[in-house]
Structure 1
Amino acid sequence: MPPPAAASHTASIHLLRALLREATYLPDPHARKYFTRFIVGRFKAYQPRRNATASALTEAIDRHRHRASKRHPERIIHARTPRLQRVAQKSLHYLRRANHGEIPCLLKILFFTYGRAGRRKHALIDDILRPDSVTDGGRVVSGSELCGPAPLQELYYSKMPCLKYFDAPKPASNGMQVIGISDHYSRLRAVVKSQSTRGISMHRELKGPAMKTPVHNAWMQPMPIVRARNNVRRWYAETMKRLLPPLPTEEWHHLHALAEGTDRVSIVRRRKPGTWSEQEEFDPIEHAMNVVTDGLKMDKLSRAVRPAGLWRPHNITPKFMRRLYSRVLQLCCKVEYDPERQQWVATWGQAIKTISPKIYQTASEPSLFHGVDNKGKILTAPRKPKGNPDPELQPRNDKGEYVRFPFFTEYLPEDNPLRKELEAWKKKRIAAGIIDEDGTFCGR
């Protein structure tokens, strides 16, 4: 019996190969490259240092700024291996479901690839958190070198990193003050303002392009510095959580071309498994017993191993991928500098209509759709109003209230006062043309 470490190492190798194999079947070329690097990086982070090869990739793993991709000590590797193998097995099922055409799984794969979620989103956010480069006497310097400490860092007596992205508070109405994003981070300000104005988000929308906070607390005293500092920190954290960072310009144009159908969608065909060439003798009795045994097992297939063909969630076609690219494009933007306006402008993607508007033209022959409305329903005649259409012909009492005749009024003697009122009222309505002499309603 092999030791547990050897068994665990073998299982990890099998999972790595299976994950890399499924990553090659993803219908997006960027997703195939991204998840291949991601899978290899995650496995190398839990590879013992003695088994690592001396390469540039190994040194890059050791220098990685994200803690999740740094190489861990051996005691942590042995302690986390069983749990991480279960996580890797779930990830393998998720990739298989995406390759089978399940829309939520495949859409999430595209979100990770194009930086709408996951590690790449933080990498894109770090890019727009860099200060703008300015010119000082012919020398290009960063904004932090030129302006020194941020206004909020001096005002709140703190070196908290999130305070350097904001300007000094400006007074507003109703005892409020506005803290906007600094001019040295104009790309970040352009993205936050455009996303808040358009109301674009994956879950909850941004609170606003700038932070609004009260000047005084509940006791009408100046806001304590600690509380004001924490308010800014919470607003910054919520904004960064809901922010959709811009893509590189070339990548945004490529995604737009994929959604529009200009570029070709790259779909990889799954390789066929190898078949056993030797022909075995067919035994009908053994085949029947195997069928009965498999039926008695009552094993429920996982959604990751369900058969393809008629029962697959969706066939992955170029048209199907263009619809998914269109949904991803609506959550992506690019940031370009406009020399006329002298500011950064964020351009967001829009939904691509795959159906041509020519099929919605008006019919050439109006008689084809005669008698139906715009929704295709048959037009019906308006209903006749119930009761008396003219309130002036309804009898009233001295107080101005409507008088209703009992059902037995017609059977009373003719000299009865109530019968006389009914006959007079009938003559009045017949003269007005509301009812006939036999008492049927004829309308006006």
Structure 2
Amino acid sequence: MSRPPPLPHPTTTLHLYRHLLRESSYLPVLIRPFFDERITTRFRAHRSDPSPSSCPQTASRLKRAHHDLRYLRAANAGDLPRMRRILLLAFGRTGAKRRQLLSELLEPDTPTSDEELQKYINKARAIVKEGRKPDWLDNWDTEKLKAFVRSQTGGAPPIVNRPKPEITNHQLAPERYVPKEDIWGGPLNEKVQRTKLKKTYKQVADKVLPPVPREEWELLRDLVNKKEEWEVPKRRTVGRTIWAKDQKDEALDWNWQRYATQPIWLVDRQKSRRNMLLSGQVEEDLPMGEQQPINCHRYTPRLWRRTLEQVWRMTAVMERKKDGKGWEIEWGQKKYEPPVAPSADLEFFAGAPVRTEPKKKKGKQ
């Protein structure tokens, strides 16, 4: 599909709400529930807000909703970079869902044994002994966070176009790199040390790609490995009323005043190849024919598998070990195997040398 269909511009809030739900229905099945719930929740939360003319916040929300509608249309029409960002939002690699998954990662587990309960008691006693008030860092499970960070830096597969910067080496153990002395060689104030430690942990948390539920991770795995098949729904035909204007009448509605009062580049900006997917407008009657928009792709099963594989490599599952000591972390990584030649092509490989493992040289005795 080269461009979105020429749908009418939403004029009312309810019209905009229906347009958003319609565009969400053309998204892949595995991410559609996330966006449907997000759209309906926000609409119902602000349905009683004052009108845009009297409330700047309402006008700002409607402006953002129109932007999101154009974003969804462009992604469904073939804009792969925008579709990739939509997938990252749906699987919690960025956005609000990532913050929710991160809060679940940082939340301490409920003690299930006397040893774990004793650790919590010792931690509370240490805070009292230091003579300071508990802060937000005391509510984080730092050991769990550091274990996941070590896995992300060492065990995760290489990621192309990662949504977050890489974690540096000194951020793997923040306590080790907090300075103990000031610039004059004297002991650093304990409050300053605590502030620097919290700042480092905050920087680490901003770069973490938190684990996802196992159901989502296994669904991505099956889609990448062709164990699950799904299709993107086809776009429905645009309805036309019986009072629709003829093409001759539409030609007479040409707004020549804009061309007379504004620069040409500003008037035809929405028809450019870069903005064609966002606006849906096309420059007609060109000598070279209809131009194709930039970054427009035709979605195929192979393209979907490759795109989902990039997202799967950014996701992990984290579960506590059976003995209760440590965590098991598994990242998405597809195992590539060389293709097997079909029987019809075996004649081309007849007589080819067979690769053998080189013999190891024996050491001198």
Distance in 2 (CA, whole Å) between partners of 1:251 and 1:236 is 28
Who is 1:202 aligned against?
Answer: 163
Q: Which of 249, 252, 268 is equivalent to 2:214?
A: 249
Work out the number of aligned pairs and report it: 310
Distance in 1 (CA, whole Å) between partners of 2:34 and 2:117 is 31
Distance in 1 (CA, whole Å) between partners of 2:12 and 2:67 is 14
Distance 1:75-1:269 versus aligned 2 partners, 3 A rule? closer
Who is 1:223 aligned against?
Answer: 188
Q: 1:160 Cα deviation (Å)?
A: 1.1
Distance 1:145-1:222 versus aligned 2 partners, 3 A rule? closer
Amino acid at match of 1:31: I
Q: 1:75 Cα deviation (Å)?
A: 10
After TM superposition, the structure 1 = structure 2 runs for residues 314-325 of structure 1, keeping only pairs within 5 Å, are: 314-325=297-308
Q: Which of 225, 244, 253 is equivalent to 1:260?
A: 225
The structure having more radius of gyration, on CA atoms, is 1
Deviations 1:50-94 (A, max 9, x none): xxxxxxxxxxxxxxxxxxxxxx79999823122221111111110
Q: Does 1:110 align with 2:82?
A: no
Distance 1:30-1:143 versus aligned 2 partners, 3 A rule? farther
Amino acid at match of 1:358: V
Q: Which of 355, 358, 369 is equivalent to 2:340?
A: 358
Q: Does 1:82 align with 2:59?
A: yes
- The CA RMSD measured in Å over matched residues stands at 3.9
Q: 1:215 Cα deviation (Å)?
A: 1.5
After TM superposition, the structure 1 = structure 2 runs for residues 84-99 of structure 1, keeping only pairs within 5 Å, are: 84-99=61-76
Q: Which of 300, 303, 306 is equivalent to 2:280?
A: 306
Which sections of structure 2, spanning at least 5 residues, go unmatched?
Answer: 1-9, 260-266, 283-289, 353-365
CA contact (8 A) 2:24 2:36 kept: yes
Q: Which has the higher contact order (CA 8 A, sep 6+)?
A: 2
TM-score, with length taken from structure 2: 0.72
Distance 1:152-1:259 versus aligned 2 partners, 3 A rule? farther
CA contact (8 A) 2:224 2:309 kept: yes
Distance 1:165-1:290 versus aligned 2 partners, 3 A rule? closer
CA contact (8 A) 2:50 2:58 kept: no
Q: 1:256 Cα deviation (Å)?
A: 0.9
**Larger relative strand fraction:** 1
Amino acid at match of 2:313: Q
TM-score, with length taken from structure 1: 0.60
**2:111 alignment partner, SS class:** strand
Who is 1:174 aligned against?
Answer: none
After TM superposition, the structure 1 = structure 2 runs for residues 31-430 of structure 1, keeping only pairs within 5 Å, are: 31-48=31-48, 78-136=55-113, 146-147=121-122, 149=124, 151=126, 154-155=129-130, 157-165=132-140, 181-182=142-143, 186=144, 188-198=145-155, 202-207=163-168, 208-211=171-174, 212-275=177-240, 286=248, 290=251, 293=254, 299=268, 300-301=270-271, 302-306=276-280, 311=292, 313-339=296-322, 342-351=325-334, 353=336, 357-358=339-340, 364=349
Distance 1:339-1:144 versus aligned 2 partners, 3 A rule? closer
Distance in 2 (CA, whole Å) between partners of 1:202 and 1:77 is 38
Deviations 1:186-209 (A, max 9, x none): 3x3321110122476533111332
Distance 1:239-1:257 versus aligned 2 partners, 3 A rule? same
Which sections of structure 1, spanning at least 5 residues, go unmatched?
Answer: 1-8, 49-71, 167-180, 368-444
Distance 1:74-1:157 versus aligned 2 partners, 3 A rule? farther
**1:250 alignment partner, SS class:** helix
CA contact (8 A) 1:156 1:229 kept: no
Deviations 1:152-188 (A, max 9, x none): 675371321114447xxxxxxxxxxxxxx34xxx3x3
Distance in 1 (CA, whole Å) between partners of 2:24 and 2:118 is 41
Deviations 1:215-251 (A, max 9, x none): 2111111111222111111111111111110011121
CA contact (8 A) 1:111 1:328 kept: yes
Q: 1:253 Cα deviation (Å)?
A: 0.7
Amino acid at match of 1:196: T
Distance in 1 (CA, whole Å) between partners of 2:323 and 2:120 is 27
